[in-house]
Amino acid sequence: MNGLPETTDPRGTAARVATAAPPAARILVVEDESALGLLLSYNLEAEGFIVDRVERGDEAEIKLAETIPDLVILDWMLPGVSGLEICRRLRAREVTRTLPIIILTARGEESERVRGLSIGADDYVVKPFSVPELMARVRALLRRSRPDRVSGLLAAGDLELDRQNWRVHRGGRDIHLGPTEFRLLEHLMGKPGRVFSRAQLLDSVWGLSSEIDERTVDVHVGRLRKALSAAGEKDPIRTVRGAGYSFDETFGKAP
């Protein structure tokens, strides 16, 4: 069912052979709003990416000369050199001609979107935007340009989450989750053992502009737990009193 090779340990128990994780993709965030830049960096790192962040266009030029990332998130209006000019220069160079670029801007007019895409941006996101949607666009671009850098499967013990097909399996059975529960599980599984506060989960799963009460997180965690764990099965979600929730890093591991 899961496509992972199996072997048998000395006690006769089926055990999965560990597979090497794909190398993490490197993403350059060029955003002069410090709070937004930090939010993007936090969420990208939570997804397992390596993140470099600068706040000026000329700093981005220096960073790009040192290391070519796997994807660039580029603000339109930047001090030093504009995002559009950086995009134009990247497309003019052979080594960065196909580098995936997402433009961030407060300009939502159709003519401006056309202008940004015509210069060579692969995607165009208008502020304010949903952080989960931006993360999905990042993964989609990387899957097309560098499929070796994005793992489509998260697995722990008998639990598997298929990012590409939006499916979850546990112990050979399908787990039916709503979109929010799926994103919540994906976020927690991506960083096993890391404790996320309710506010952090609201930002990462519901989005930057969400005005949902933090207690809503508890409701969705409850639904997720009910869907994941049949009678007698171990709960993979851990509640950390006064702090938040995490995916149990010991889940599926021998005691």
- Portion of the chain with pLDDT greater than 90, in percent: 38
Return the minimum-mean-pLDDT range out of 28-32, 100-104, 229-233: 229-233
127 pLDDT above the threshold of 80: yes
Contact 136, 163 (CB under 8 A): no
**Domain locations in the chain?**
26-148, 153-247
pLDDT in tens, 160-187: 998 777 889 998 889 999 988 998 998 8
What CA–CA distance (Å, rounded) separates 177 from 155? 16
Residue, of 210 and 249, whose pLDDT is higher: 249
Do the domains at 26-148 and 153-247 have one common CATH topology?
no
Measured CA to CA, the distance from residue 48 to residue 39 in angstroms comes to: 15
Whether the predicted pLDDT of 236 surpasses 90: yes
Cis preceding-peptide flag for 128 (omega within 30 of 0): yes
d(CA 221, CA 203): 15
Q: What is the pTM of this model?
A: 0.59
How is domain 153-247 classified at the CATH fold level? Arc Repressor Mutant, subunit A (1.10.10)
Closest CA to 164 of 176, 152, 154: 152
Q: Which CATH superfamily is domain 26-148 in?
A: Response regulator (3.40.50.2300)
Flag whether pLDDT at 2 surpasses 60.
no
Please give the full DSSP string across 180-198, using - where no structure is assigned.
HHHHHHHHHHHSTT--B-H
Higher pLDDT among residues 146 and 23, named by residue: 146
What is the maximal distance between C-alpha atoms in the chain?
66
pLDDT at 8: 38
pLDDT at 31 over 60: yes
Strands in 14-100 per DSSP E: 14-16, 26-30, 50-54, 71-75
Amino acid at 187: H
In tens, the pLDDT along 77-106 reads: 899 999 999 999 999 988 898 899 999 988
